[in-house]
Amino acid sequence: MKTITACTMDCPDACSLVVTVEEGKSFRLRGNPDHPITAGFTCKKIRNHVRRLQSPDRILHPLLKKNGKWNRIGWEQALDLCAEKINHYRGEPLSILNVQGSGALGALKSVTGLFFGRLGASRFRGSLCDAAGYMAFVHDFGSRRNNDIRDLTNASRIINWGKDLSRSSVHLAAMVRRARKKGARVLTISPGGDGNTSFSDDHIRIRPGTDRFLAAAAIRRMIQSDGIDAHIISHTKHWSPFRQAVESWTEAQLLESCGLTPAELETLLFWYRQKDPTATLVGTALQRYRYGGENARFINALALLAGHIGRSGGGSYYHLHAYGALNLDWARDGVPRSGRSFCKPTMGKEILEATDPPIRMAWFNGINIVNQAANSRQSKKALEGVEFVVVVDAFMNDTAAAANLILPSALMLEQEDVVGSYFHEYVQYVPAVLPPPAEARTDYWIMSELARRMNPPVEIPDPETVFSQSLTSPLLETTLEELRERGFVRTNRPPVAYEELQFDHADGKYRFPIALHPEPNPPDGYPLRLLSLIRREAMHSQILAEDQEIPPAAWVAPDCPAISGLDPAKDVFMVSPQGRLRVRLEVLQGLHPEVVVYRRGDWMKLGGGINQLIREQLTDMGWGAAYYDQYVRLEN
Ligand SMILES: Nc1nc2c(c(=O)[nH]1)N[C@H]1C(S)=C(S)[C@@H](COP(=O)(O)OP(=O)(O)OC[C@H]3O[C@@H](n4cnc5c(=O)[nH]c(N)nc54)[C@H](O)[C@@H]3O)O[C@H]1N2
Ligand SMILES: Nc1nc2c(c(=O)[nH]1)N[C@H]1C(S)=C(S)[C@@H](COP(=O)(O)OP(=O)(O)OC[C@H]3O[C@@H](n4cnc5c(=O)[nH]c(N)nc54)[C@H](O)[C@@H]3O)O[C@H]1N2
Ligand SMILES: [Mo]
């Protein structure tokens, strides 16, 4: 039988998938050739996902920890125990914490938050992913929109500020390739050593975390040599303080801060000064710094002042809101607005410090917080201090290992949902194409069973109501029936964002940032900036044990000053004030000499886990995680 479904991984592409299942025989999955963005192909992660579904390590039954040992229990017992605990702790609902991740995306996933919200439990805020950049765009434009991604092929130039086109989004890569075929040229700005060479005509190798200074240097030069278009300024606010902030630095100071030469600034100016439309891509890496939001805001300001916003072939692209096209008001219905929230990037610390009341019960679903949030050891300790921790997941990862009770979750392809995308404009219907194995169950099933056991009762809507209501967004003109029939529908967002320089702040104007913060120096004894980047083959920490190389690899430039002090015959350790990790050191051509790269997501309990070395720190906006602010050293 052939079914059209969609990928719900936390990946921008949200591919439309054609799945062919023959009873007891074959299972075949490919990218939907009829979907305008998927265009018939998908990535490697999906093949690994299918392997993961069938892995012998998959947790297939509820597991309860007793005296440090895991015991298999039945669902009745597991659910009764959860209900008993919740009924007990709900007398003081803020002592219960629910934290949800994006292990699988989809509208129905919000039912868990609704359930705990209606109890009045403690919530989470912020994100481990893209929050600083997201808020930067909202501050600038008044909303988070960009041109339809297909408009990229109308660009004559593309300036790629740190997206790894060879890894993070195969369909963005395909779009860039198409644009180049049509004659577009691509400039990449990154610390180097990434997979962008074959996608780029030129490259500027920037010092990590300092994009705002390069953008500011270009703006400063445009102010002083070119003159700024008064028409653009008339559509903005805060021009004077912005200009002052930029001009309070000399060009030499700005260039020194980002480690670049006047010739490299000329290159960037040459690209942005073109009258033909120039598109700007803003990656997520540059916002994972203390001044990450500011980095994104200065890039946007440059794109605007150079005249490339609000037109076809131009625009500034960043992650859209994954749920922006759906109406999730139902998930807030009956949920008290006040209460208490814990910030995702600093969750461990906040749990440890919480009083009045302390957290007594925690429920984690779709998130490997011990592995993926900074300061893993602190997160682990925090979980160990909570009386009753439930983790809904399919693998015994670093977070599940710290639980009291593990509930085995269904995974992508095994659950029905409705999903948006943070990259393209399509909302998709996601039918289940496989049954969950053994006793694995969907998050929805678990919550509905729990809801039945609550006293006094907690109501949650049925899936059909959730799907229908989620589609009542002003951005959609469809019904559940139509979506089921067609598989995907486009939002009615205009193909060009902010046309005529009409922005989404109440006064219709763009906002400039009013400060440019200096980049703090590396702390004594820790000279290398640690970039903990994604892997091509895996989704974050969703890696099978057999695919994890221990000791994990770390990469430095051939001219990295740290190399000369190391004895290659001995073990190499990466060290930060938080901890020490044995690594296998490799040399990577083209990488900035002040950088060490690590491909994140491997498990701490197996000898990986880079977040052991990273301290928890917030970004300047959005409650984001400043992972790449971390400095380390290498030693034997
Ligand atoms: N295969 C795969 N794809 C994924 C994911 C995955 O886990 N695996 N995860 C998805 C998710 S949730 C996300 S958020 C995205 C992340 O997608 P990306 O943002 O593309 O990924 P990163 O690896 O975080 O960073 C990309 C590049 O940023 C550059 N960089 C680092 N610091 C700076 C800086 O200060 N300035 C500039 N200009 N460049 C810098 C580095 O060269 C790095 O190669 O990928 C999504 N796609
Ligand atoms: N050092 C460092 N750390 C980072 C980053 C970084 O740049 N540096 N960036 C990060 C980024 S971009 C992101 S998005 C986050 C990702 O952080 P997480 O969301 O924690 O990432 P995953 O490893 O994908 O973990 C998701 C978990 O959900 C489980 N899961 C999958 N499907 C389901 C389901 O349907 N139900 C339930 N209950 N569980 C399910 C998976 O098995 C997996 O264990 O962390 C980041 N962590
Ligand atoms: Mo992310």
Burial class (CB in 10 A: 0-12, 13-18, 19+), 207: buried
Q: Tell whether 123 and 146 lie within a shared domain.
A: no
In angstroms, the CA 201 to CA 199 distance is 7
pLDDT digits (tens, 9 = 90+) for 147-204: 999 999 999 999 999 999 999 999 999 999 999 999 999 999 999 999 999 999 999 9
Residue 510 belongs to a domain:
no
Q: What is the mean pLDDT of the chain?
A: 97
Report residue 484 as tokens.
């089921």
Is the pLDDT confidence value at 23 over 80?
no
Cα(533) to ligand 2 centroid in Å equals 13
Burial class (CB in 10 A: 0-12, 13-18, 19+), 147: buried
Exposed e or buried b for every residue in 401-433, given b needs 16+ CB within 10 A? bbbbbbbbbbbbbbbbbbbbbbbbbbbbbbebb
Does residue 214 have its Cβ closer than 6 Å to ligand 1? Answer: no
What's the one-letter identity of residue 404? N
Report residue 523 as tokens.
């702390």
Residue 509 belongs to a domain:
no
Cα(456) to ligand 3 centroid in Å equals 38
Pairing of strands 361-365, 96-100: parallel
Report residue 63 as tokens.
């597991």
The phi, psi pair for 333, rounded to 5°, reads -70, 125
301, 318, 335 — which closes off a domain?
318
**Coil, helix or strand at residue 110:** helix
In angstroms, the CA 391 to CA 218 distance is 49
Does residue 208 have its Cβ closer than 6 Å to ligand 1? Answer: yes
Q: Tell whether 26 and 118 lie within a shared domain.
A: no
Q: Which residues sit opposite 124 in a β-bridge?
A: 342
Cα(250) to ligand 3 centroid in Å equals 35
In angstroms, the CA 199 to CA 186 distance is 7
Residue 248 belongs to a domain:
yes
In angstroms, the CA 488 to CA 499 distance is 26
Q: Tell whether 476 and 613 lie within a shared domain.
A: no
* Cα-based distances in Å from 12 to 150, 267, 322, 448: 14, 30, 8, 29
Q: Tell whether 115 and 97 lie within a shared domain.
A: yes
Domain span at residue 561 reads 528-635
Q: Tell whether 114 and 260 lie within a shared domain.
A: no
Residue 116, H or E segment: helix 110-119
Q: Specify whether the CB–CB gap between 291 and 517 falls below 8 A.
A: yes
Q: Tell whether 149 and 274 lie within a shared domain.
A: yes
Sheet of 417-419, strands arranged across = 417-419, 426-430, 488-490
Q: Is the peptide bond before 522 cis (omega within 30 degrees of 0)?
A: no
Q: Which residues sit opposite 341 in a β-bridge?
A: 123
Does residue 317 have its Cβ closer than 6 Å to ligand 1? Answer: no
Q: Tell whether 154 and 41 lie within a shared domain.
A: no
Residue 351, H or E segment: helix 347-353
Q: What is the pLDDT of residue 538?
A: 95
Does residue 533 have its Cβ closer than 6 Å to ligand 1? Answer: yes
Residue 540 belongs to a domain:
yes
Is the pLDDT confidence value at 526 over 90?
yes
Q: Tell whether 154 and 273 lie within a shared domain.
A: yes
In this prediction, what percent of the chain has a pLDDT beyond 90? 97
Q: Which residues does ligand 2 sit against, CB inside 6 Å?
A: 10, 101-104, 128-129, 288, 365-368, 372, 392-395, 397, 409-411, 443, 532, 539-542, 600, 610-611, 614, 627
* Cα-based distances in Å from 393 to 104, 407, 453: 11, 6, 21
CATH code at 219?
3.40.228.10
Q: Specify whether the CB–CB gap between 405 and 390 falls below 8 A.
A: yes
In angstroms, the CA 458 to CA 448 distance is 9
For ligand 1, atom 4, the nearest C-alpha belongs to: 168
pLDDT digits (tens, 9 = 90+) for 86-144: 999 999 999 999 999 999 999 999 999 999 999 999 999 999 999 999 999 999 999 99
pLDDT digits (tens, 9 = 90+) for 445-502: 999 999 999 999 999 999 999 999 999 999 999 999 999 999 999 999 999 999 999 9
Cα(395) to ligand 2 centroid in Å equals 12
Q: Tell whether 103 and 38 lie within a shared domain.
A: no
Q: What is the pLDDT of residue 194?
A: 96
Residue 507 belongs to a domain:
no
Q: CB-side exposure of 553: number of CA atoms within 13 Å?
A: 11
pLDDT band at 556 (very low <50, low <70, confident <90, very high): very high
Q: Tell whether 290 and 141 lie within a shared domain.
A: yes
Q: Specify whether the CB–CB gap between 511 and 452 falls below 8 A.
A: no
Does residue 7 have its Cβ closer than 6 Å to ligand 1? Answer: no
- Domains identified in the chain, total number: 4
For ligand 2, atom 31, the nearest C-alpha belongs to: 103
CATH code at 561?
2.40.40.20
Burial class (CB in 10 A: 0-12, 13-18, 19+), 445: middle
In angstroms, the CA 549 to CA 562 distance is 23
In angstroms, the CA 614 to CA 497 distance is 37
Is the pLDDT confidence value at 337 over 90?
no
Q: Tell whether 439 and 535 lie within a shared domain.
A: no
Collect residues with CB below 5 Å from ion ligand 3: 129
pLDDT digits (tens, 9 = 90+) for 28-74: 999 999 999 999 999 999 999 999 999 999 999 999 999 999 999 99
Q: What is the pLDDT of residue 329?
A: 98
Return the beta strands (E) in 348-441 as ranges. Answer: 361-365, 388-393, 405-408, 417-419, 426-430
Q: What is the pLDDT of residue 22?
A: 86
**Average pLDDT for residues 324-342, to the nearest whole number?**
94
Is the pLDDT confidence value at 24 over 80?
no
Q: Specify whether the CB–CB gap between 394 and 57 falls below 8 A.
A: no
Measured over the CA atoms of residue 431, residue 433, residue 438 and residue 440, the dihedral's sign is negative
For ligand 2, atom 39, the nearest C-alpha belongs to: 366
Q: Tell whether 168 and 313 lie within a shared domain.
A: yes
In angstroms, the CA 145 to CA 150 distance is 14
Q: How many CB atoms lie within 10 A of CB 32?
A: 23
pTM of the model: 0.98
pLDDT digits (tens, 9 = 90+) for 254-297: 999 999 999 999 999 999 999 999 999 999 999 999 999 999 99
- Nearest ligand to the C-alpha atom of residue 98: 2
CATH code at 112?
3.40.50.740
Is the pLDDT confidence value at 219 over 90?
yes
Is the pLDDT confidence value at 568 over 90?
no
Atom of ligand 2 nearest to the CA of 369: 20
For ligand 2, atom 44, the nearest C-alpha belongs to: 368
Residue 167 belongs to a domain:
yes
Q: How many CB atoms lie within 10 A of CB 195?
A: 13
Residue 511 belongs to a domain:
no
Residue 514 belongs to a domain:
no
pLDDT band at 27 (very low <50, low <70, confident <90, very high): confident
Q: Which residues sit opposite 632 in a β-bridge?
A: 528
